[in-house]
Amino acid sequence: MANKFKSGSAVKGGYYFNAIKWHVEPIAKDGDRLPEGKGEWMKVPTVVALALIPMLGLTFLMFLPLIGFVIFARALLSPIVNMFHRGATELASTVSPGWQPGEAHFTGKPAEGAGTEEKGPTGAEARLDALEKEIGDKRKS
């Protein structure tokens, strides 16, 4: 199992591979530091580094044209996709249901005369009225 090192760490001489950057860094002597940046570095044997470097380059050369075609297609299709997305959003806002999450439905019919009774003042309203009268009296005097 290979040891992993943080960027900027002082390490022994050898070859170190960063999978995030796809980079192999040679360290000439003990105590030199790995380059700064994101990702962890893994010490690899010299034979593996010599095989890994051409494979990384070949992979880059193979996928570079593909990446260019993908970016070009995305640039061409982006305005069309945005036009349909905008239309779909407007359509979805007009046909959305009128219900609210958390509302109670299917609870049966309301009882006869439910909600029609008149309610008198609550205790809090009576206290507020008394407080209002007291403040009015103090302002007059």
Give residue-wise pLDDT tens across range 42-97. 999 999 999 999 999 898 888 888 888 999 999 999 998 888 887 777 777 777 66
Instruction: Supply the DSSP symbol for 37.
Output: S
pTM greater than 0.75 (yes/no): no
Q: What is the pLDDT of residue 37?
A: 87
Identity of the residue numbered 46: T
| C-beta contacts of 60-69 below 8 A and 24+ residues apart | 60/22
Distance CA 85, CA 7 (A): 42
Whole-number mean pLDDT of the chain? 83
What is the domain extent for residue 45?
4-89
Within a domain: 95? no
Phi-psi region of 106 (alpha: psi -120 to 50; beta: other; left: phi over 0): left
Question: What total number of domains does the chain contain?
Answer: 1
Within a domain: 136? no
How many other CB atoms are found less than 10 A from the CB of residue 50?
Answer: 12
- Pairing relation of β-strands 23-27 and 40-44? unpaired
